[in-house]
């Protein structure tokens, strides 16, 4: 029986956990951690996902991400494979490093997101790696120390983290954040405790929290997320049914602009050509979920450039009312 697909909701925060094989550790020395962060940063820039927190442990790591229209696999397939190649070459191993694909949970903004970030950032205390909040403030294997200004982590979006804790605009969000961290340290010893805290809270307009297998949020958020996911799966199944490929996509896109398809690899200041290339990237990697590498090769650009053009391509599509049809 095929495994059930991962729930990925554009614009939503996702809590992700990835474990290494039982016979491995995540980092053997500081250079491994540096390489891990270097590769993570590279693929975050490529996908455009927003990093809201990460914590490292001997056998796994936990991360909070806000996704865009790209599938989550675009980050983890490339990133995990690249780190595994580095790890195996350095230590003489072969095969996989991580235990399958990461586990992920979709989290609603508001109180759920506040508590989730605090839960992630207090993980080291539950694991016995820190005993006090002062120790946690300085703990470099968790981005709580970055939020507190005691370390640096590339691409961590501190402004967006603290925005989750903004209330009336009078109290400093960092004060609210640290208060939430302290509450989590005092009251939460497990994931079950975390869910109980959400259910018991009276501080949010949402009155109910229905934690499911994939989702933490209000009933309406859960309903909307599942509906959005189902619509995406049906759309993707239809696209795959009619087997769009790069040649067919290029023909469709360039027929919408007064430029020749023969110029697909050309760069210049021609607005129509520029828009066609942007739209091509958007349809390829976001709608059809083609790889950034194959799309980059088609346009003779880098994978990072493909992701940048794809974001702009969405604007081109909406501005011109261009929708990729199911049928070619």
**pLDDT (mean) for 154-176:** 88
Q: Specify whether the CB–CB gap between 38 and 46 falls below 8 A.
A: no
* 6 lies in some domain: no
CATH (domain of 278) = 1.10.1750.10
User: How many angstroms separate the CA atoms of 259 and 264, rounded?
Assistant: 9
**pLDDT (mean) for 40-63:** 93
pLDDT of 3 > 60? The answer is no
* 201 lies in some domain: yes
pLDDT of 2 > 80? The answer is no
Residues 6+ apart with CB under 8 A from 67: 8, 9, 10, 11, 12, 14, 49
Backbone angles phi, psi at 15, to 5 degrees: -95, 120
Split at pLDDT 50, 70, 90, the class of 232 is confident
* 270 lies in some domain: yes
Q: Residues 103, 181, 188, CA angle at the centre, nearest 5°? A: 65
pLDDT higher at 40 or 47: 40
Split at pLDDT 50, 70, 90, the class of 245 is confident
Q: Specify whether the CB–CB gap between 83 and 102 falls below 8 A.
A: no
| Domain of 61, in residue numbers | 13-225
* 61 lies in some domain: yes
pLDDT of 168 > 90? The answer is no
* 33 lies in some domain: yes
Same-domain pairing of 248 and 219: no
What is the percent of the chain with per-residue pLDDT over 70, rounded to a whole number?
A: 93
Same-domain pairing of 127 and 99: yes
Same-domain pairing of 187 and 281: no
Residues 6+ apart with CB under 8 A from 31: none
pLDDT of residue 5: 62
pLDDT higher at 204 or 196: 196
pLDDT of residue 201: 65
**How many beta carbons lie within 10 A of that of residue 204, not counting itself?**
15
Token representation of residue 20? 């290494």
Same-domain pairing of 119 and 216: yes
Same-domain pairing of 89 and 195: yes
Split at pLDDT 50, 70, 90, the class of 240 is confident
* 280 lies in some domain: yes
pLDDT of residue 277: 92
Q: Residues 187, 142, 189, CA angle at the centre, nearest 5°? A: 20
Domain count, the chain: 2
Give counts: helices (H), strands (E), the chain.
14, 5
Q: Of 88, 36, 79, 83, nearest to 57 (Cα)? A: 36
CATH (domain of 73) = 3.30.70.1290
- Cα-atom radius of gyration of the chain, to the nearest Å? 22
The pTM of the full predicted model, rounded to 2 decimals, is 0.80
How many residues can be counted in the chain?
Answer: 328
């Amino acid at each position: 029986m095929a495994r059930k697909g991962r729930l990925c909701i554009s614009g939503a925060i996702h809590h992700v956990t990835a474990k290494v094989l039982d016979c491995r550790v995540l980092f053997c020395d500081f250079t491994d951690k540096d390489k891990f962060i270097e590769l993570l940063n590279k693929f975050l820039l490529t996908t455009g996902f927003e990093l809201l927190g990460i914590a490292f442990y001997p056998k796994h790591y936990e991360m909070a991400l806000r996704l865009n229209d790209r599938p989550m696999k675009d980050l983890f397939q490339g990133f995990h494979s690249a780190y595994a190649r580095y790890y195996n070459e350095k230590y003489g191993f072969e095969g996989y490093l991580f235990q399958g694909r990461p586990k992920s949970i979709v989290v609603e903004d508001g109180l759920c997101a506040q508590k989730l970030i605090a839960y992630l950032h207090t993980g080291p205390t539950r694991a016995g790696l820190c005993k006090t909040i002062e120790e946690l403030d300085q703990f470099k294997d968790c981005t709580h120390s970055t939020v507190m200004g005691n370390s640096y982590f590339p691409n961590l979006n501190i402004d967006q983290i603290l925005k989750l804790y903004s209330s009336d605009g009078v109290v400093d969000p960092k004060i609210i954040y640290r208060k939430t961290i302290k509450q989590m340290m005092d009251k939460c010893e497990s994931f079950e405790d975390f869910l109980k805290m959400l259910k018991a809270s009276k501080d949010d307009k949402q009155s109910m929290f229905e934690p499911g297998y994939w989702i933490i949020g209000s009933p309406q958020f859960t309903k909307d997320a599942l509906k959005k996911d189902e619509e995406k799966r049906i759309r993707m199944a239809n696209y795959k049914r009619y087997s769009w490929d790069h040649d067919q996509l290029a023909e469709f896109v360039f027929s919408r602009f007064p430029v020749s398809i023969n110029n697909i690899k050309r760069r210049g200041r021609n607005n129509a050509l520029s828009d066609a290339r942007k739209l091509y990237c958007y349809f390829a990697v976001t709608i059809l979920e083609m790889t950034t590498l194959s799309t980059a090769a088609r346009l003779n650009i880098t994978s990072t450039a493909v992701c940048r053009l794809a974001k702009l391509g969405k604007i081109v599509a909406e501005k011109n009312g261009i929708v990729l049809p199911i049928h070619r």
